[in-house]
Amino acid sequence: MLKPSLATLFSVFSACAVASQTLPDLQLGSKITLSGLSSGAYMAGQYHLAYAEQVTGVAMLAGGPVYCAQNSLGIALEHCLNKASSAPDITVINTYIQKQRELGALAAESALEDDKVWIFHGSNDQTVSSHLSNILQKQFLQWLPKENIRLVTNLAVAHTFPTDNPALGECNVSAPPFLANCRYDAAGELLQFILGDIQPRTDKAQGQLLAINQHQLSSAAARSLAEQGYVYIPASCARGSECKLHVSLHGCKQNADAIGAAYATSTGLNNYADNNKLVILYPQTRASNINPFNPNACWDWWGYSGADYATRTGVQIQAIAQLIKALQTAQPQH
């Protein structure tokens, strides 16, 4: 697949090539929803707390409590991954979150009011212990009524994004591209909960998956993310209909350099986007072996990009915010 030049902001993705294409004039609302898998789940939770006034719903798959790692790789490995003995210090975490709210580095607690939170964790997940999602649920119960939170932990799913697509791999396997046929439509379930009543999905996505130059759209992305990301635009949104924006964050080893556009095409989210006027942004990370050490292209949920990684001043949270604003204010390119 050819890579777009620095001069090309947007391009159409196809199985064979990336061709030059202008971005349509999008009419996007100011509110967004989020979802993420694994490190993407941790980042989705972080972004929610940072910009809660912007977010109405978040779905987190195979993750744990926000700020679980407390800016420490050692704590991340001991308490936020696959150990049954993991016990994140919620008292310390709560103290940090409250302090950052007081400093204005996170949204006020009141901004979470009425938000919806959907949490999923497969019982066969050997990468991130499922009991961490129970802790995540308890964390959000501090801020939201229980009816606004749904926790799903009773399905035999490995560390993967579960779908009901028979073309994908086995559900008990955790391997790239971490997308599996589990006879469970996670995309539909999460959208139904965080958006409310939704229209049925299409059998085949009818819109366009555009490759975007993240570095040109966001100065923060140029410092921490891959050059290329993706955005899925239904035909109705491309024609100027009012649409909503959903941001979907991949997991470790799920970035485009590792698995191509698989995550941006195979979760099932795009099939719901067409009938529900949803533009879906798929930001992309990049792997690095030194400065910072992030060989698996994870989103930063333990502090490799700086101690402020889980706040509004964190470079990756800034990057996502800038990409969102770029789409919300996009005008036709001439």
Q: Encode burial over 116-133: b for 16+ CB neighbours within 10 A, e otherwise.
A: bbbbbbbebbebbbbbbb
CB 58 within 8 A of CB 44: yes
Please name the amino acid found at residue 6. L
CB 71 within 8 A of CB 130: no
- In Å, how far are 23, 28, 61, 208, 233 from 331, measured between CA atoms? 7, 11, 33, 17, 14
Separation of alpha carbons 47 and 15, rounded Å: 31
Separation of alpha carbons 129 and 260, rounded Å: 27
Separation of alpha carbons 161 and 168, rounded Å: 11
Separation of alpha carbons 230 and 281, rounded Å: 6
Separation of alpha carbons 286 and 154, rounded Å: 33
87-95: which pairs have CB atoms within 8 A and are 24 or more residues apart? 88/64, 88/132, 88/135, 90/65, 90/135, 90/138, 90/139, 93/65, 93/66, 93/67, 93/68, 93/139, 94/142
CB 114 within 8 A of CB 46: no
- Looking at the annotation, which residues are catalytic? 38, 125, 159
Please name the amino acid found at residue 43. M
Question: By C-alpha distance, which of 206, 209, 331, 226 is closest to 276?
Answer: 206
CB 272 within 8 A of CB 279: no
Element of type H or E holding 233: strand 228-233
